[in-house]
Structure 1
Amino acid sequence: MQHALQQAVQFAVENESLWDRHVTGNWGVHVNDPPPWNRLLGPVHDRGPASGAIAVDGRVLVTWGEPDRPDLTFSVAKMYLALLAGLAHDRGLLPDVDEPVRVRVPGIGFDDEHNAPVTWAHLLQQTSEWQGTYFGLSDQADHFRTVNFAAPPDGKKGDLRPLRRPGTYWEYNDVRINQLSLALLHLFRQPLPDVFRDAIMRPAGASESWQWVGYDNAWIEIDGRRMQSVPGGTHWGGGMSVSANDQLKVAQMLLDDGVANGRRVLSSEWIARMRTPCAIAPFYGYLVWLNTDRKIFPSVPASSYFGVGAGSSFTWIEPERRMTVIVRWLNPAAADGFFGRVLNAIG
């Protein structure tokens, strides 16, 4: 098995991301946006080499690259927002995901006629059709966005799209995800990175080297305290910078149904909801990608689910084999080939 695993690792190393390692080169998502959205709004940093870690039943089998280097993980941060929503649910701050967001957090952009029906579930499944601006960034920036695992839209990125009724149309839209993050900040009434550190990362045994930061202007005041709203990715900068080994610990908590080091940190009910296919987008759950009918990654079981970030970064959780896999800076075209090789190695 070890030889086959090393071959899989070598495949990942040979198929490193096409992005430059320096942010001054061909690097990032924002570079593909039309003006005025093709610029960074928060801090970023250079990336490391192809890296990763693989574990079965919590036992690390192999690591490669720089697995302890904190690196920007882009939209894997969406999965972390889903975990925070689960914490809010478990604590009674968010008892009903089908309740309109405006009921608990009025006055932050959900009160007008179009947005009033938007629920927490809509935001978590990317079907909200929320319309507005997040610290000056319009939802239009991600209209007609193309993503690797969904059908291509019939329009040009950034063009204004006629909006549907909330809950009736799926669109991968980072501005709407950031608006969910802002709503969660108002629910918890404390910075989300602090909640995540205390409730998820420390119980999971993660290091203290990670950081989750927002855009330079994304500051609000709650209860007299100045707080930064953090994005669900690094599309316009900021976001979650975390090591592969720390991500592996979060993945293990999910594999163990919400338990980390013998302590329950998230309800199994919430994790089941995260893995439930969206009715109009069965490849998606609560901010995680699902392998329903093995359509996204044909080489792995339908039970597998993923956090996926640009660049590309993958958190792969495979319940049938009790396996967790983190791979950083992999060319997305090689992802299914890599996953298939890992699966064959594990047997």
Structure 2
Amino acid sequence: MSGERPDLRAIRAAVERQRYRVTPGVGDMARYHADQVLDESHREVLGPLLPASGASGVVQYGGVVVAEWGNAAVPEMAYSVTKSVVSVVAGVAARTGVLADVRAPVSDSVDLPEFSDGPARRVTWEHLLQQTSQWEGQLWGKPAAADAQSRRPGTRPGTAEPGSGWAYNDVRVNLLCLALTALLGASLPEVLRESVLEPLGASHTWQWHGYPNSFTTVDGRRIPVVSGGAHWGGGLFVSAHDLALLGRLLVLRGRWRGQPLIEDDWITRSWQSCPVKPDYGYLWWLNRERRIFPEAPATGVCARGNRSRHVLWLDPARDLVIAAHWSPGIGEFIGEVSRSLPARRA
């Protein structure tokens, strides 16, 4: 925009248009979910599915909600938006010193059979966070090779050396969830609640699920392990309001009321380009080359799931947070909203 003042009228008009863009078929979540999964085998759903209530979202500018649509207080399945929340929990582990070196092999700090042999011993925390681990194996009954997403153009086969190639793979993100649970000695929802969402004043309506068979044992205690998405059900169920709160924390570089919930350095690392996938950071998508959302500014980063029908968009340059569920055409919407706001800083 040419002026220096936000055009709130234009933002609210864009929200009114977005209100009527609704993902079709989500009234029958079991059928909808089955249609989304392209795997040829191991398709069985393990975790819970949440019926959709409809499209919803929040536009937050300068920490204030200036517009919303649908019922933004109702939790929805977040799909792969969950992955970026896993990155936030890893940031808590880094802030507390439990995760001291992301470039160290995972096997140096946790004793898990999944990291005991061959190339798996060379997989680092950073490899898992950047989806470059190339790990091959089976977890919770699902082989890494079964995830059809890992055979998209631009990915590398799992036989490659850790760090040499990128592949979007839910089994490997679930492996990161397992490793973080073992490292922290607590479930990821417990850490997220106590260290992040409760200090932010989030609601108590959100949930984070794994599978009936996803558990690990730490010091004799059986701890549930959540999933990093909804590929086989489960993952994070969260409202747009609560997602926007989390987004605000990150735009503020991890500080909330004077306290560092996430270190500034972790956010910087999370939003740095992966060497073999420039549009990707630590489980965050980066729009610097405008390949994720061509209509949106290059200053934004995002969490996104289910082909961008669920999005948490952060643009620190505009002090902007957008959280949306079941909202198609979100790139066009982000572009409309962004053009209505001044870019405050580079």
TM-score, with structure 2 as normaliser = 0.92
* Conservation of the 8 A alpha-carbon contact between 2:63 and 2:248: yes
C-alpha distance in 2 between matches for 1:280 and 1:16: 35
C-alpha distance in 1 between matches for 2:158 and 2:140: 22
Following superposition of structure 1 onto structure 2, how do residues 56-67 of structure 1 map, counting pairs within 5 Å? 56-67=61-72
- Give structure 1 stretches of 5+ with no counterpart: 155-160
Match of 1:165 in 2: 161
* Conservation of the 8 A alpha-carbon contact between 1:247 and 1:315: yes
- Report the CA distance shift for 1:204/1:103 in structure 2 as closer, same or farther (over 3 A): same
Aligned partner of residue 294 in structure 1, secondary structure: coil
Once the two structures are superposed, what CA deviation does each residue of 1:75-95 show, in whole Å capped at 9, x if it has no partner? 111111111111111111111
What letter matches 1:97 in structure 2?
V
C-alpha distance in 2 between matches for 1:104 and 1:29: 39
C-alpha distance in 2 between matches for 1:103 and 1:124: 16
* Conservation of the 8 A alpha-carbon contact between 1:53 and 1:63: yes
C-alpha distance in 2 between matches for 1:273 and 1:153: 22
Aligned partner of residue 311 in structure 2, secondary structure: strand
Match of 2:105 in 1: 100
**1:320 counterpart (314, 317, 321):** 317
Moved more, 38-47 or 16-25: 16-25
1:86 and 2:82 are equivalent in the alignment? no
* Conservation of the 8 A alpha-carbon contact between 1:30 and 1:38: no
- Report the CA distance shift for 1:270/1:338 in structure 2 as closer, same or farther (over 3 A): same
Following superposition of structure 1 onto structure 2, how do residues 1-347 of structure 1 map, counting pairs within 5 Å? 1-27=7-33, 31-35=37-41, 37-142=42-147, 145=150, 151=153, 161=157, 163-310=159-306, 312-331=309-328, 334-347=329-342
Shift of 1:30: 5.8
RMSD: 1.8
C-alpha distance in 1 between matches for 2:279 and 2:34: 25
Once the two structures are superposed, what CA deviation does each residue of 1:281-313 show, in whole Å capped at 9, x if it has no partner? 000000000012222222222221000011610
- Give structure 2 stretches of 5+ with no counterpart: 1-6
C-alpha distance in 2 between matches for 1:96 and 1:8: 44
* Conservation of the 8 A alpha-carbon contact between 2:187 and 2:224: yes
- Report the CA distance shift for 1:263/1:19 in structure 2 as closer, same or farther (over 3 A): farther
C-alpha distance in 2 between matches for 1:226 and 1:261: 35
**Count of residues in correspondence between the two structures:** 335
C-alpha distance in 2 between matches for 1:28 and 1:275: 32
* Conservation of the 8 A alpha-carbon contact between 1:204 and 1:261: no
- Report the CA distance shift for 1:344/1:137 in structure 2 as closer, same or farther (over 3 A): same
Moved more, 226-235 or 172-181: 226-235
* Conservation of the 8 A alpha-carbon contact between 1:303 and 1:319: yes
Percent of counterpart pairs with the same letter?
36
C-alpha distance in 2 between matches for 1:24 and 1:106: 36
Shift of 1:72: 0.8
